Amino acid sequence: MDGAEIETIEGLGTQDDLHPIQAAFVDNAALQCGFCIPGMIMQSRSLLQDNPDPTEAEIRKGLSDNLCRCTGYEKIIDAVQDAAERMNSDQTVATDGGDSTHETMPCSSQKCRGESDE
């Protein structure tokens, strides 16, 4: 561990300039209480650094040490796949209006479009 770097969620992005993984979690509604999300995002970062285009099975295995009591994991898997696409295409910003110079990505969920899901 001597000389090792420790990176936390606080060092990954800012409210105004989210990291693509953070943006993907927001845009895919991949959280509920949020308790597990810092670990999920940091583990996703490590996974995507080692494997920029993981399969669903590889994502599930890569995140298997992180437990979420809320989401059922489907949206988390979707978010990691979305993050991989964003990082591979250099598309980096969420829909929340960050002050970034990067292109924004429209949210596709019904709630973001102001539509009812009924």
Which contacts (CB < 8 Å, 24+ apart) does range 55-64 have? 56/81
Return the number of the residue (63 or 92) whose C-beta is nearest ligand FES. 63
Class of residue 26 by CB neighbours under 10 A (exposed 0-12, middle 13-18, buried 19+)? middle
| 24 touching ligand FES, by CB under 6 A | no
> What is the Cα–Cα distance from 88 to 113, expressed in whole angstroms?
26
> At its nearest, how many Å lie between ligand FES and the CB of residue 102?
26
Site string for ligand FES, 43-82 (x = CB under 6 A): -------------------------xxxx-----------
Q: Which residues bind ligand FES (CB under 6 A)?
A: 31-36, 68-71
